[in-house]
Amino acid sequence: MLTFIGSGDSKTLGRSLPPWVNSHNERIEDERDAKHPAGYRADPGLVDAVNTALILGKPLLLTGRPGSGKSELAERIAWEFGLSPVRRFEAQSLSEAQELFYRFDLVAQMADAQLAAALRRETQAPEAFLTFGPLGQAILDANPAAYADLLDRQRQHAIPAPAGETLAPRRSVVLIDEIDKAARDMPNDLLNGIERLEFRLRELRNRPLAAPADTELRPIVLITSNSERDLPEPFLRRCVFHHIAEPDQDKLREILRARVSGLVDGLVDGSSGGVAGSPLAPFYEALLSFFVTFRDDPGAHTAYTPGTSELIDWTRVLQQLGVDAQRDLADNAGWLARSLGAVVKHGDDLAVLRQAFKRLRGLDLRPRAA
């Protein structure tokens, strides 16, 4: 049984892992790159939740504010276990449960039948009009010997085996992102599919497809929700649940140290790491302190409360603008004023953030005159 660690690079994990290719098909070789999952830091509660889901063979349902790292966890799991790139399903208002498994292009099939009649040729087999979704493809990849005929027709999703050989089984991580945005009936329609990891192809005489019984090959399923609406209880019972809370200042310091290079006091730009718990350079320590105070301040009424991802973006922007990391916020007020767009998401929030700097730190960050 695989055990999730949730932190550390390949050297720390003691593994030789291949260059990472993420779910957007981006190849990222440098583990210090901000997009690389080596920099992800999961807290102990989240690590326990992942391992509980692995033991039980159930999907892991994650809630938390946008930007809290729910989706990035899938990349971290796949990278840490040395699996293939994450198969991502982004739920939308019109999404249906079947799309997670497969789509059948009925219009193309009808057009082919008309063309075949005109040309007096045979129609194509129904398999030609199948496109497998993320979970459907993961089930096929986990059991290629049983579904070699389907994989052969889905060459755009699977690497064809050399002549005389069969594809090796591959385990995948499947991310169902923001399921609360999907049609209301979708969670209920997924009940049996996500519990048993099986489905049927109605257009192929109701042919059944199922993940193998081997728990080391069954897809690892993560589901995220921003809690825009409640999910049905039967769906919740089939999942392991974990809520990702807002990280405290010490946790945010650890995240910044891992995700943005050159912030630790005494390290040259381009370096990363530092002793666990060591402070950031003075400017970034002050910025972190202000951010946490502002985020948790009941007097700062913003339409969108900035989260961890905004802090990371803000820090990167300030670093690129050229702030003096050894000086305080006041000495870098001009750079701060130019970077507020990395934090706010609504027009009124900009004024609230400027007022907070004035009220909490005595800084006037009004825009410069033209």
Q: What is the pLDDT averaged over residues 76-80?
A: 95
Query: What's the confidence (pLDDT) of residue 305?
Result: 84
Compare 1 and 107 and report the one with higher pLDDT.
Answer: 107
Query: What's the confidence (pLDDT) of residue 154?
Result: 62
pTM, two decimal places: 0.85
- Among 78-82, 148-152, 308-312, the range scoring the smallest mean pLDDT is 148-152
Query: What's the confidence (pLDDT) of residue 358?
Result: 93
Distant-in-sequence contacts of 238-241, Cβ < 8 A, 24+ apart:
238/58, 238/59, 238/191, 238/194, 238/195, 239/58, 239/59, 239/60, 239/61, 239/194, 240/49, 240/52, 240/53, 240/56, 240/58, 240/59, 240/60, 240/61, 241/49, 241/61, 241/63
Compare 56 and 264 and report the one with higher pLDDT.
Answer: 56
Residue where the block lists tokens 């005595």: 362
Single-letter amino acid, residue 102: Y
**Token digits for 103?**
């789509």
Cα 278 to the center of its chain, rounded Å: 28
Query: What's the confidence (pLDDT) of residue 161?
Result: 46
pLDDT digits 0-9 by tens, 1-17: 789 999 999 999 988 88
Rg, the chain, Cα only: 24
Q: Please say whether the beta carbons of 353 and 363 come within 8 A.
A: no
Which segments of the chain are extended strands (E)?
Answer: 20-21, 27-28, 60-63, 87-90, 102-104, 130-132, 173-177, 198-201, 207-210, 220-225, 240-243
Gap between the Cα atoms of 17 and 35, Å rounded: 16
DSSP secondary structure letter of residue 222? E
Q: Please say whether the beta carbons of 169 and 147 come within 8 A.
A: no
**Token digits for 247?**
């990280």
Q: Please say whether the beta carbons of 157 and 103 come within 8 A.
A: no
> Which residues make beta-bridge pairs with 103?
131
Gap between the Cα atoms of 188 and 46, Å rounded: 26
pLDDT digits 0-9 by tens, 35-72: 899 989 999 999 999 999 999 999 999 999 888 889 99
**Is the backbone of residue 336 left (phi > 0), alpha (psi -120 to 50) or beta?**
alpha
Please report the domains of the chain, with CATH numbers, ordered by start residue. Answer: 10-102+132-243 (3.40.50.300), 249-361 (no CATH)
Query: What's the confidence (pLDDT) of residue 155?
Result: 54
Residue where the block lists tokens 């913003």: 302
